[in-house]
Structure 1
Amino acid sequence: MALLRPRIDFDKGELVVSYHGKRHDNQPHQISIPLSADPSVLDSTLDRQRSRVCGEEVSAQLYTSESINSFFSSVLGVPCVLARFPPGGLGLKGRLSKAQIQRYQQPSRVRTVPGAFPDVPSPPDSDSEQKKPAKILLSNESPILMIHSSSVDELNREITSRGGSPVEERSFRANIVLEHATGAKAYTAFAEDDWGSVYIGRQNFKLLGACRRCQMVCIDQETGEKREEPFVTLAKTRRFDGKVYFGVHMRHDTFAQDDCTTKETQYPTIQVGDSVSVNP
């Protein structure tokens, strides 16, 4: 599936998915899917397909278009039916992010109030913040995944020192990649473990916790082949409590309804080159 490359054509209102692997004769290179709930390709009956995503039951709308479903079935080699997760989950409860601050990320700030017990770390967030998980649709863990280029560089130094080949940032399948601009303050590798939130352009993002990694990071995003790295090195350098972490989950902090009076608040947007500020 790494050889399937999606992009959104806003002008045409379409999701365009292209396949970059070997194709059979007369096999299409790409397929275009309407972003709207087009009844000509979407099953609009009351019947819905129940499935499971990361152990949770979901009810999804199915696409009935033969051209759409045959495209995915032919390139993946197994029978496929494309589905979408509508707002509200069609009667089932909405899915919530499972991302959370890991123990190794929690600061050990000792209380200084007279009479307080020493060596008792304060919690990383208030109770209200911890009890307010972000809503997600078909994402695995959280709405947004961010990685830090300095951390990728440090990981690649470890990999090459062991005789391996460096990996690309896209191996981690992040939504957002942060890197320092020329002349700006350069954050050290894995500094993102301790960040509380980041401003990108005019948008604020709350960090939800580290991203747990598996062998999927070893899939070459260009060829679809599986390699040993970077998981082997991650397992030696980024293992905490028996689990491997790299990158952080985030959610976008939306504006209050009465604050949505400008274009930036009504249509929140970030773009390549936006300035970034970090809050602890």
Structure 2
Amino acid sequence: MFLSALYRYPVKSGQAQCLAESALDALGLDGDRRWMVVEQDTGRFLTQRAWPQLGRLKACPDEDGALLLEAPGHSPLQVRVPEADENLRGVTLWRDTLRVPDAGEAAAQWLSQLLDKPVRLVHCPRQRARYLPSGYGLDTDRAAFPDGFPFLLIGQSSLDELNRRIGRPLQMLRFRPNLVVEGAEPFAEDGWKRIRIGELTFRVLKPSVRCILTTLDPDTGERSADREPLTTLKTFRERDGDVLFGQNLAVDGRGRLEVGMPVEVLE
């Protein structure tokens, strides 16, 4: 087995970046979901579930973490990383509430025009990262702005089997993984507890619960009229009312990943 793809999402629910290699630490791949768009008045997070326009947002961090925002019909905007303890804003991400630095007026205006809604852009510095959901991981595990966990892994064979059942090919990016593994049987990742990729050890914490976001075409933002892939997933991947696809992970230590690295199941 080997690591066949690496993806990061600099702004939560924005476009993916396909990487050949990446540094990583307990928060995930370097630069992955360190930024998030929130409602101006409430601080509640926004995603493509309700705001598919976010799928037009391309965000590229530089070596210092500063962010270049781009979208069709909008002039690019460079956004610096705000100071970790200045201009703090209360935000809500699912059941978590936290205070994180606001990225400033220029970013807020740019994104408000994109979404036609008053919004703010916030950043998650390392010292303000969240704990993982109760009952999962170690006290040292943290996450920035993913839904709950620092890494999402999907086996390529699992998508291939799903596509076979659907009867047409759907892109892996509908499921927004960080790590894609080739060479395993379909859904082999369901039985993994610990794996090694290169020199790094990952702990498999829980299956990923899928939502309506998977029905959006990542290239066009259009929703599948037949509600695929959820329709087919519900026929064989539903457990206690949840539709499961992929596995959430945490890592021990820090290091680098490269596409092509061997993957070994330790437990």
Q: TM-score, normalised by structure 2?
A: 0.72
Instruction: Give the distance between the partners of 2:125 and 2:190, measured in 1 at CA.
Output: 33
Name the aligned partner's letter for residue 166 of structure 1. Answer: P
- 2:251 alignment partner in structure 1: 252
- 1:153 alignment partner in structure 2: 160
- 2:145 alignment partner in structure 1: 138
Q: For 1:236, what is the secondary structure of its paired residue?
A: helix
Q: 2:103 aligns with which of 63, 83, 87?
A: 63
- 1:110 alignment partner in structure 2: none
Larger RCO (CA under 8 A, 6+ residues apart): 2
Q: For 1:252, what is the secondary structure of its paired residue?
A: strand
Q: 2:122 aligns with which of 71, 75, 83?
A: 83
Give the number of aligned pairs: 212
Instruction: Give the distance between the partners of 2:110 and 2:117, measured in 1 at CA.
Output: 11
Instruction: Give the distance between the partners of 1:63 and 1:131, measured in 2 at CA.
Output: 30
Name the aligned partner's letter for residue 17 of structure 1. Answer: L
Q: How does 1:29-108 map to 2 (within 5 A)?
A: 30-35=76-81, 37=82, 44-45=86-87, 48-66=88-106, 68-89=107-128, 95-98=130-133
Unaligned runs of 5+ in 1: 102-129, 181-186, 255-264
- 1:190 alignment partner in structure 2: 187
Q: For 2:146, what is the secondary structure of its paired residue?
A: coil
Instruction: Give the distance between the partners of 1:17 and 1:198, measured in 2 at CA.
Output: 35
The answer to whether the 8 Å contact 2:206/2:247 transfers is: yes
Shift of 1:137: 2.3
The structure with more strand, counted as a fraction of residues? 2
1:163-202 superposed Cα distances (whole Å, 9 cap, x missing partner) = xx3210111001111112xxxxxx2100000001221111
The answer to whether the 8 Å contact 1:3/1:221 transfers is: no
Q: 1:210 aligns with which of 186, 193, 207?
A: 207
Shift of 1:131: 6.0
Shift of 1:70: 1.8
Does 1:168 pair with 2:171?
A: yes
Change (3 A) 1:44 1:131: closer
Shift of 1:74: 1.2
Instruction: Give the distance between the partners of 2:243 and 2:146, measured in 1 at CA.
Output: 19
Q: For 1:192, what is the secondary structure of its paired residue?
A: helix
Shift of 1:100: 6.6
- 1:126 alignment partner in structure 2: none
The answer to whether the 8 Å contact 1:97/1:142 transfers is: yes
Change (3 A) 1:133 1:154: farther
Instruction: Give the distance between the partners of 1:237 and 1:144, measured in 2 at CA.
Output: 24
Does 1:275 pair with 2:262?
A: yes
Q: For 2:119, what is the secondary structure of its paired residue?
A: coil
Does 1:178 pair with 2:181?
A: yes
Unaligned runs of 5+ in 2: 1-53
The answer to whether the 8 Å contact 1:50/1:59 transfers is: yes
Shift of 1:206: 0.9
The answer to whether the 8 Å contact 2:80/2:103 transfers is: no
The answer to whether the 8 Å contact 1:43/1:63 transfers is: no
- 2:66 alignment partner in structure 1: 14
Name the aligned partner's letter for residue 78 of structure 2. Answer: S
Q: For 2:221, what is the secondary structure of its paired residue?
A: coil
